[in-house]
Amino acid sequence: MAKVINTSGKRKTAIARATLKEGKGRIRINSVPLEIYGSELSRMKISEPLILVPNGIEGVDVSIEVNGGGFMGQAEAIRTALARGILKWHNDPRIKDTFITYDRTLLVNDSRQKEAKKPHGRGARKKFQKSYR
């Protein structure tokens, strides 16, 4: 039976689901290859786990489905899902140490959310002006 691993990552309202299976080392995000996905900044963010573990996806095809949030939230969700998948695939504590020392959010979802808007203002904290005249 072929080895298949499912992982997920979240950031703000973006959710990424990654599926790792044996293959040729390709990464596809919403059926688009990583090389042409999104902006250069988001590609760099997504490829951080690949730079930290250079042979992390040798012989592994990664398929990632992502939705919700903006392009940067999606990129960070993808990177978390990818890093978790690499760690689970290799099951090597040194990889975990490498990821944690570089950036903890590679393996742990960033739980920060937007603060809710309140009444009498345009946002969470901003209030409409008063003049008393």
Residue 56, domain extent:
4-106
Whether residue 113 is contained in a domain is answered as: no
| pTM of the complete model | 0.89
Report CA-CA distances (Å) from 85 to 12, 119, 126: 20, 42, 41
- CA distance linking residue 76 with residue 29, whole number of Å: 13
Whether residue 79 is contained in a domain is answered as: yes
**Buried b vs exposed e over 77-96: b needs ≥16 C-beta within 10 Å?**
bbbbbbbbbbbebbeeeebe
Band (pLDDT 50/70/90 cuts) for residue 72 is very high
Instruction: List, in sequence order, every residue forming a beta bridge with 67; answer none if it has no partner.
Output: 15
Which pLDDT tens digit goes with each residue over 6-44? 999 999 999 999 999 999 999 999 999 999 999 999 999
Total number of domains constituting the chain: 1
Q: Assign residue 10 the CATH number of its domain.
A: 3.30.230.10
- Among candidates 100, 32, 38, which has minimal Cα distance to 75? 38
